[in-house]
Amino acid sequence: MYVYRVKKPGLDTSKVFDADEIHDIILSEEDIKDAMYRELLPYCDKVQAIRHYYDIEKLKAESGAKSLHLSSIIGGVLSFTGTKPNGQSVTISKSDAEIARKHATCVPIPRFATGAKRMTYRSGSMTTSAMWRTQATTS
């Protein structure tokens, strides 16, 4: 079991971050509903982080498909499979770079970021009081 020390990372809460810019633990609003993660809330900065999505609607319009879903990612090529309104199947394959350039959309969403540093490792299970004692002796 690892013991971590957590702290507020001190991020600029007015800035919209790309997720790659945040080098700390990132939690969603859904994560914070879990009691285990909720305890981290006092040590979090609430920030806006950009989430990248494939624009399936744009791909459907371009290919004339009624339905479309991601079917594979192989060697930097994404393939989408679906059906046209007449029932005919359709497959679209595009490079990751082309998808990112032409068929991706970015949406800022709220995230909670906390800094964490692994302090020590203990095998077996530890009680909460043992974890606090371990952290105090390694500080």
pLDDT digits (tens, 9 = 90+) for 54-87: 899 999 999 999 999 999 999 999 999 999 999 9
Higher pLDDT, 36 or 68: 68
Give the whole-angstrom CA distance, residue 91 versus residue 133.
Answer: 58
In the chain the first and final C-alpha atoms are separated, in Å, by 18
Give the whole-angstrom CA distance, residue 10 versus residue 29.
Answer: 19
Mean per-residue pLDDT of the chain: 85
C-alpha 119 chain-centroid distance: 24
State the pLDDT at residue 126. Answer: 52
Q: What is the pTM of this model?
A: 0.60
Q: 3-class DSSP state for residue 33?
A: coil
pLDDT exceeds 80 at position 135: no
Ranking 49-53, 77-81, 129-133 by mean pLDDT, the lowest is 129-133
Which has the closest alpha carbon to 118: 133, 134, 106, 103? 134
Q: What is the pLDDT of residues 78-121, one digit of tens each?
A: 999 999 999 999 999 999 899 888 988 888 999 999 988 888 76
State the pLDDT at residue 124. Answer: 59
Higher pLDDT, 42 or 24: 42
